Amino acid sequence: MYQLIVFLPLIGFLIAGLFGRVIGAKASEYVTSGLLIVAAILSWIGFFSIGYGETAVVKEPVMRWITSGTFDVEWTIRVDTLTAVMLVVVNSVSALVHVYSIGYMHHDPHRPRFFAYLSLFTFAMLTLVTSDNLLQMFFGWEGVGLASYLLIGFWYQKPSANAAAMKAFVVNRVGDFGFILGIFGVFVLFGSADYDAIFANAQGFAEGEPKVVLDFLGYQLTQDAALTVTCLLLFMGAMGKSAQFLLHTWLPDAMEGPTPVSALIHAATMVTAGVFMVARLSPVFELSHTALTVVTFFGATTAFFAATVGLVQNDIKRVIAYSTCSQLGYMFVALGVGGYSIAIFHLFTHAFFKALLFLGAGSVIHAVSNEQDMRKMGGLAKHIPLTYWMMVIGTLALTGFPLTAGFFSKDGVIEAAYVGHNAFAMYGFWLTVAAAGLTSFYSWRLAFMTFHGKPRASVDVMKHVHESPLVMTVPLMILAVGALFAGLVFAGVFMGEGYEGFWKGALFTSEENHILHDIHEVPLWVKASPFVMMVLGFAFAWLFYIRSPEIPRRLAERHDGLYRFLLNKWYFDELYDAIFVRPAMWLGRQLWKKGDGATIDRLGPDGIAARVQDVSSWAVRLQTGYLYHYAFAMLIGVAALITWSMFSVGGAH
């Protein structure tokens, strides 16, 4: 069954990719979407049989992959509760995105290619989450990177789409360089890339007699330091893939792809890979207190940073993109304080409400003739009521309204940060609380600017505003069910009483880690703080965009520097341009113009060729082909010979 789940999307990719032109766009859509729906149904069956059954781990060998000396890697599909959760998330959202895309991409002439890329993306993510060793994970890791490049740059005729695809690819290469070094580090420390071997030896390795086990950048590292360095390198990979602070710049630009791509990248696949990887390697990360502290710091900083930038963005998809960035920060805060299941629970609930928001935004864009600027919307609620209510449900879940999916998981993260024991746990708590208020503000700002107030679109656009077809709205309604009830139904098994029976050791928590117990004993004000911040965010958004719409403009004019700072995303793009891009371009230009052109070419191949040309041009001038020229040359030769003879004979006498 699990091999079917993994390989059905690959079959869809091959059919649509190889035979799309032959079978046509409609057949490509139905084949890829049908296979994904089957995979999603099987994933739910697997989720309940693993999570709620007796079996802890199922392994299905696929093939022998790499054999080199004692190094032996098999391609094996590993399914435990963590994988089962990810299979449900990836395949459910991907199936709904496939179906939704049938309506959204209706007019695009390259639909077979688009659906092939979507299925390839899904297959790559499935290979990542079902991996049984780090090399298999790395295959899927690079696969989602490739597929994201293809999908973000799908409309390759647009220069901005090409630039965004390149940016995503290059920024991820930075993180992936750290990730593969981390994999090498794990192999050096444990002698294997296989999860079971690593996890079995991790505790004993850390508790062994201190000795030098790793040379890194000229430093001799003992077990503690080596584990910390390895975990930080692995986390560097997670930072790139999950768009954490400093390596986040690619994520908002990924909006250049079609909207269903944004939903797939941001809700279910690529960005959750980093969270999954840290959770999967929890037996290793749990041994490095320093690494977990760093994870907490970056998670909290990302949650706050992205939320501040989301306050002032005007592109509807970009606001939701920064929201994704911020929510990923929440997940890493939970991971950093040791609440691995809480992080995965937030990943699980987030997939539903974030996919709902992105696809809802796509429905809005579809309705207003592909306009994405919220300043040119307004008053749409009565024209597209179904989309409006779906977006409201997504917003309630994102902001943590009581009993929605986000309420359980987001509050769990904030409470875990409060009871966490590392140096940045309280930093994480306060920044996630602040981010909760900012999230509520920008989420309701989006809803009010888009659906309420007077229409700001042209009369011609408003005349054509219409509700999306059923093929687009049914996926919204299914996601809305998840956004409303996923927290209520699954909170107990993810982080409550049913934890042990559900996870069955898929996530590791050390004996000193009492996070899941302690979150139930936090003070009342801690439990209430996310709700208070949510209400404050809503109140300010209502005041600014419904009651007194002139306030935001006045505030922006009065605090112009701060407004531009946030609008320009803390100037990270400009900073990286000045530090990395321009010096690299200058160096490249110097090596090209002066090194390659002026030195190597001028003195080497070009110089030699030029001299040969000079010599041959003189030789050509001698060989004219006229008889009298040759006779004249012979005459001069004879005269020269006679003259030389006369003088040499005279000299002899």
Please report whether residue 647 resides in a domain.
yes
Query: What kind and span of H or E run contains 79?
Result: strand 71-79
Q: Does residue 649 surpass a pLDDT of 70?
A: no
Residue 651's pLDDT band (boundaries 50, 70, 90)? low
- Say which residues have a Cβ less than 8 Å from residue 198's Cβ, sequence separation at least 6: 134, 186, 190, 192, 281, 283, 284
Are residues 588 and 459 part of one domain? Answer: no
Classify 68 in phi/psi space as left (phi over 0), alpha (psi -120 to 50) or beta. Answer: beta
Give the rounded distance of the alpha carbon of 404 from its chain centre.
26
Percent pLDDT > 90 in the chain is 38
Amino acid at 290: T
Please report whether residue 280 resides in a domain.
no
115-119, 449-453, 527-531, range with the lowest pLDDT: 449-453
- In this prediction, residue 653 carries a pLDDT of 52
What's the mean pLDDT in 565-593?
86
Residue 88's pLDDT band (boundaries 50, 70, 90)? very high
Amino acid at 425: A
- The answer to whether 449 and 310 have CB atoms below 8 angstroms apart is no
Please report whether residue 118 resides in a domain.
yes
Q: Where are the alpha helices (DSSP H) in 499-595?
A: 499-503, 515-518, 524-542, 551-558, 560-567, 572-576, 582-590
Give the rounded distance of the alpha carbon of 462 from its chain centre.
35
- Rounded to an integer, what distance in angstroms lies between the CA atom of residue 167 and that of residue 246? 14
Q: Does residue 394 surpass a pLDDT of 90?
A: yes
Q: Does residue 283 surpass a pLDDT of 60?
A: yes
Q: Where are the alpha helices (DSSP H) in 464-523?
A: 470-495, 499-503, 515-518
More confident residue, 557 or 623: 557
Q: Does residue 430 surpass a pLDDT of 90?
A: yes
Please report whether residue 532 resides in a domain.
yes
- In this prediction, residue 86 carries a pLDDT of 92
Are residues 126 and 104 part of one domain? Answer: yes
Which residues are 57's β-sheet partners? none
Are residues 297 and 252 part of one domain? Answer: no
493-507, 553-567, 605-619, range with the lowest pLDDT: 605-619
- The answer to whether 308 and 378 have CB atoms below 8 angstroms apart is no
Tell me the pLDDT tens digit for each residue of 537-577. 999 999 988 888 888 888 888 888 898 998 888 888 888 88
What's the mean pLDDT in 75-92?
91
Owning domain of residue 582: 571-622
- Rounded to an integer, what distance in angstroms lies between the CA atom of residue 397 and that of residue 393? 6
- Rounded to an integer, what distance in angstroms lies between the CA atom of residue 145 and that of residue 270? 7
- In this prediction, residue 650 carries a pLDDT of 58
Long-range contacts of 573-582 (CB under 8 A, 24+ apart): 573/249, 576/249
Q: Does residue 480 surpass a pLDDT of 90?
A: yes
Please report whether residue 19 resides in a domain.
yes
99-103, 142-146, 189-193, 263-267, range with the lowest pLDDT: 263-267
3-state secondary structure of 146: helix
Give the rounded distance of the alpha carbon of 350 from its chain centre.
15
Please report whether residue 263 resides in a domain.
no
Please report whether residue 244 resides in a domain.
yes
Q: Could you tell me how many helices (H) and strands (E) the chain has, helices first?
A: 30, 4
3-state secondary structure of 213: coil
28-46 exposure pattern, b = at least 16 Cβ within 10 A, e = fewer: bbebbbebbbbbbebbeeb
Q: Which of 258, 278, 307 is the last residue of a domain?
A: 258
- In this prediction, residue 532 carries a pLDDT of 93
Are residues 184 and 174 part of one domain? Answer: yes
Q: Does residue 433 surpass a pLDDT of 90?
A: yes
Mean pLDDT taken over the chain: 88
Give the global pTM. 0.88
Tell me which residue of 90, 132, 32, 131 sits closest to 270, measured CA to CA: 90
Tell me the pLDDT tens digit for each residue of 595-609. 777 777 777 777 788
- In this prediction, residue 332 carries a pLDDT of 93
Tell me which residue of 57, 81, 38, 92 sits closest to 490, measured CA to CA: 81
- In this prediction, residue 652 carries a pLDDT of 53
3-state secondary structure of 68: strand
- The answer to whether 265 and 255 have CB atoms below 8 angstroms apart is no
User: Whats the size of the chain, residue-wise?
Assistant: 653
- The answer to whether 356 and 483 have CB atoms below 8 angstroms apart is yes
49-58, 110-119, 343-352, 470-479, range with the lowest pLDDT: 49-58
- In this prediction, residue 648 carries a pLDDT of 78
Q: Does residue 316 surpass a pLDDT of 60?
A: yes
- Rounded to an integer, what distance in angstroms lies between the CA atom of residue 245 and that of residue 306? 8
Are residues 129 and 49 part of one domain? Answer: yes
Number of separate domains in the chain: 4
What's the mean pLDDT in 357-383?
86
Are residues 148 and 86 part of one domain? Answer: yes
Are residues 549 and 615 part of one domain? Answer: no
- Rounded to an integer, what distance in angstroms lies between the CA atom of residue 397 and that of residue 410? 10
- Rounded to an integer, what distance in angstroms lies between the CA atom of residue 347 and that of residue 482? 13
- The answer to whether 142 and 91 have CB atoms below 8 angstroms apart is no
Please report whether residue 271 resides in a domain.
no
Are residues 345 and 432 part of one domain? Answer: yes
Q: What angle do CA 67, 70, 71 make, to 5 degrees?
A: 50
- In this prediction, residue 429 carries a pLDDT of 93
What's the mean pLDDT in 26-46?
91
- Rounded to an integer, what distance in angstroms lies between the CA atom of residue 269 and that of residue 509? 25
> What are φ and ψ of residue 72, in 5° steps?
-135, 120
527-552 exposure pattern, b = at least 16 Cβ within 10 A, e = fewer: eebbbebbeebbebbbebbeeebeeb
3-state secondary structure of 214: strand
Are residues 37 and 98 part of one domain? Answer: yes
- Rounded to an integer, what distance in angstroms lies between the CA atom of residue 139 and that of residue 126? 11
Are residues 450 and 527 part of one domain? Answer: yes
Residue 333's pLDDT band (boundaries 50, 70, 90)? very high
Q: What is the DSSP letter of 210?
A: P
Tell me the pLDDT tens digit for each residue of 215-247. 888 888 888 899 999 999 999 999 998 888 888
Give the rounded distance of the alpha carbon of 569 from its chain centre.
18
- In this prediction, residue 268 carries a pLDDT of 65
Sign (positive or negative) of CA dihedral 477, 483, 488, 493: positive
Beta strands in 500-557 (DSSP E): none
Helix, strand, coil % over all residues of the chain, rounded to 5: 75, 5, 20
Q: What angle do CA 464, 469, 472 make, to 5 degrees?
A: 120
58-72, 578-592, 613-627, range with the lowest pLDDT: 613-627
Which residues are 58's β-sheet partners? 79
Residue 638: burial class (beta carbons within 10 Å; 0-12, 13-18, 19+): exposed
Beta strands in 501-651 (DSSP E): none
Which residues are 298's β-sheet partners? none
Are residues 600 and 555 part of one domain? Answer: no
Are residues 240 and 203 part of one domain? Answer: yes
- Rounded to an integer, what distance in angstroms lies between the CA atom of residue 364 and that of residue 394? 14
